[in-house]
Amino acid sequence: MSEESQKRVWMLWASIINYLYYEMDKSLLLLTALFTTTLFSCGIFQTGSYYDNYGDEPDEFGKCYKKCISPKISKFKDIRYASYTGNDEHILENYIENIETETQPANTKWIKKKADRNCQSADPNDCLVWCLVEIPAEYKVVGTMLIDTTVTKEYTYETTTIQRSPSKGGTKVEMAVVCNPSTDLINAIQNKLTSLGYDLSVDVQQYIFGDASQLALEDYQHNNELHTGGFTEETMEYLELDY
């Protein structure tokens, strides 16, 4: 049950109890209150558990969403990437992506535009109105990255610094998360995090995804400027895991 649906149910029960309190026998009111408590304690009106960990009810078939915390984006970021050193046309066309740095952040600007094409005023300015328009960010290419190092051995690793529009982060954002993550996926996440140097041996030894694993996942998301708070599809793709 979604949060909005739960609120509507609560309001309905509050109205019923209020009516019973003033119009009917107090013993019936007590029975109604006990019945309501039972519904919530048995999970008929789900307020927690599964969806708190893995997302809200699907907005569409096969999709689950959860409110995650947006990352803090710094103005500058160092990127280490594989730079292709060969000249194979197939690789150049299919496995190379540009690395861009922002030279001018997105902005807005007030400009005068003609409001009515049928305006017949003798003064052209009478037909103009001020409009706020969006000016997109501008970028320039600072390098090219080999996106799949398994297709060739002709590459070297290089480092460059790119500039982005900074963001304070910390806001709640609806993110697509993995519905019913399988044991194989959880094991793959733990193995990947372990290979990257995160310590979650306590959980691995007990065959659980506990506090150590959760902390390691959130640290990984924070370090890579990803949304934190769950098994987001964004994180799975960044970890290069099938989900």
Domain of residue 234, residue span:
176-238
pTM given for the model: 0.55
What angle (nearest 5°) sits at the alpha carbon of residue 36, between those of residues 33 and 41? 125
Strands 128-135 and 107-114: antiparallel
Q: Is residue 134 part of a domain?
A: yes
Does residue 41 sit within a domain?
Answer: yes
| Same domain assignment for residues 82 and 149 | yes
How many whole angstroms separate alpha carbon 48 and alpha carbon 41?
11
Residue 136 located in a structural domain:
yes
Q: Kindly report the average pLDDT of the chain as a whole number.
A: 81
Q: Is residue 151 in some structural domain?
A: yes
Which residues are paired to 176 by β-bridges?
A: 65
- Residue 39 belongs to some domain of the structure: yes
Cα–Cα distances (Å) from 52 to 15, 62, 64, 65, 228, in that order, read 28, 18, 12, 10, 14
Q: Is the pLDDT of residue 148 over 80?
A: yes
- Based on the domain organization, do 40 and 109 belong to the same domain? no
Q: What angle do CA 159, 162, 164 make, to 5 degrees?
A: 155
- Domain membership of residue 70 (yes or no) is no
- Final residue before a domain boundary, out of 163, 189, 213: 163
Render pLDDT for 159-218 as a digit per residue (tens, 0 to 9).
999 998 888 889 999 999 998 899 999 999 999 999 999 998 888 888 889 999 999 999
Are 95 and 135 in the same domain? yes
Residue 54 exposed, middle or buried by CB count within 10 Å (0-12, 13-18, 19+): middle
Residue after which a domain boundary falls, among 99, 130, 163: 163
Residues 155 and 106 both lie in one domain:
yes
For residues 115 and 150, state if they share a domain.
Answer: yes
Question: Is residue 171, in this structure, part of any structural domain at all?
Answer: no
The answer to whether residues 187 and 125 belong to one domain is no
DSSP string, 38-84: HHHHTTSS--STHHHHH-BSPSSTT-EEEEEEPPPB-SEEEEEEEEE
Same domain, 151 and 91: yes
Of 49 and 204, more confident: 204
Percent of the residues in the chain that have a pLDDT greater than 90, as a whole number: 49
Q: Are 169 and 68 in contact (CB under 8 A)?
A: no
> Same domain, yes or no, for 183 and 155?
no
Q: Residue 12 and residue 158: Cα distance in Å, rounded? A: 62
Domains: count for the chain: 3
Residues 189 and 151 in one domain: no
Final residue of a structural domain among 163, 189, 209: 163
Do 143 and 91 fall within a single domain?
yes
Q: Is residue 28 part of a domain?
A: yes
Burial annotation 145-173 (CB, 10 A radius, 16+ → b, else e): bbeeeeebeebeeeeeebbbeeeebeeee
Q: Residue 90: what pLDDT?
A: 95
pLDDT at 52 over 50: no
Report the relative pairing of strands 96-104 and 138-146 from DSSP bridges: antiparallel
pLDDT at residue 57 is higher than 60: no
Q: Name the CA radius of gyration of the chain, rounded.
A: 27
Q: What is the pLDDT of residues 152-174, one digit of tens each?
A: 999 999 999 999 888 888 999 99
- Residue 208 backbone phi and psi in degrees, to 5: -135, 160
Q: What is the mean pLDDT of residues 12-38?
A: 58
Is residue 200 within 8 A of residue 208, CB to CB? The reply is: no
- Say if residue 55's pLDDT is above 90: no
Same-domain check for residues 98 and 22: no
Tell me which residue has tokens 């982005």.
Answer: 164
Supply the DSSP symbol for 1.
Answer: -
**77 vs 84, residue with greater confidence:** 84
Q: Do 134 and 209 belong together in one domain? A: no
Q: Facing residues of 107 across strands?
A: 135
The pLDDT confidence band at residue 62, using thresholds 50, 70 and 90, is low
